[in-house]
Amino acid sequence: GSNASSSTWKLWLTMGLPYGMLFQAGSPVLIGKRIDQIDASVAPPSANGPFPDAPPTAYFGGAVEWMRLQGLTTGYSGSICFRPDATVTRAELATFVHRLAGSPAPGPRAPFPAVQTGAYFPAAVDWMYNQGLTRGVGTTGLYRPGDLVTRDQMAAVLHRLAGAPIGLPRHGFVDVAPTHFADTSVSWLSHHAITTGVAGTSTFQPGGAVTRGQLATFLHRLVQTPMAMSTAEVTLAVLP
């Protein structure tokens, strides 16, 4: 990784991928709470100390502590924990990406009827929509903030955030075919060592759900790899 300060990067914002834009369909209800109540991972920055369930010895420990220090998360709502094994929703991913960019003004409201006023995530979703980063899930006209994010979907999001560079050597994962919608995105991740696949295998497991620990690790590695972002032009508000 690099210790360079924040760079000016270009945000490539057109999505248009299959599989419900970039996210699988699902229920807006998660673990017994409405999605607008599940604001744990994206609460405003605080002076809370390190999370007890994200020790430095864990593969995600350093990345989670980086997120805490950069103000990207204060942990899971109502607790002192990060919950690294919990899965990531579209609302959470939108908020994390928005915060990486410094939480800029969102602009006009996005036309998604299921994005609740008063929830923690509407500003992030509005910003993504106004920047062209999302148009919702397929042709539904919905954003579906409670849907879970898969590994191939996150790969596509980060690849496009980086400007969607092409022409890199193809990855070696046996479970991501050349015809897969995220094949180029996974190759980009692999080329820059943002991913090495699933430990002990030659697979990426593209359909697997992204956990909070994995998301922290992907985001941290991305920010630490300036070459991966060499075609982008958005000023990120975080340091490596």
Distances (CA, A) of 82 to 65, 87, 93: 10, 11, 15
Of residues 90 and 114, the one with the higher pLDDT is 90
Confidence tier at 200 by pLDDT (50, 70, 90): confident
Q: Residue 167 pLDDT more than 50?
A: yes
Strand segments, DSSP code E, in 81-125 are none
Q: Which residue has the higher pLDDT, 23 or 205?
A: 205
Distances (CA, A) of 154 to 21, 45, 69, 113: 12, 24, 23, 24
At 98, is the pLDDT very low, low, confident or very high (cuts 50, 70, 90)?
confident
Share of residues in the chain with pLDDT > 90 (%) = 50
Sequence-separated (6 or more) residues with CB below 8 Å from residue 89: 30, 35, 38, 145, 146, 147, 148, 149
pLDDT at 179: 97
For 120-138, what is each residue's pLDDT tens digit? 899 998 988 887 777 777 6
Residue 163 pLDDT greater than 90, yes or no: no
**For the segment 14-45, what is each residue's pLDDT rounded down to a tens digit?**
233 332 233 333 333 233 333 333 333 444 44
Chain mean pLDDT for the chain? 79
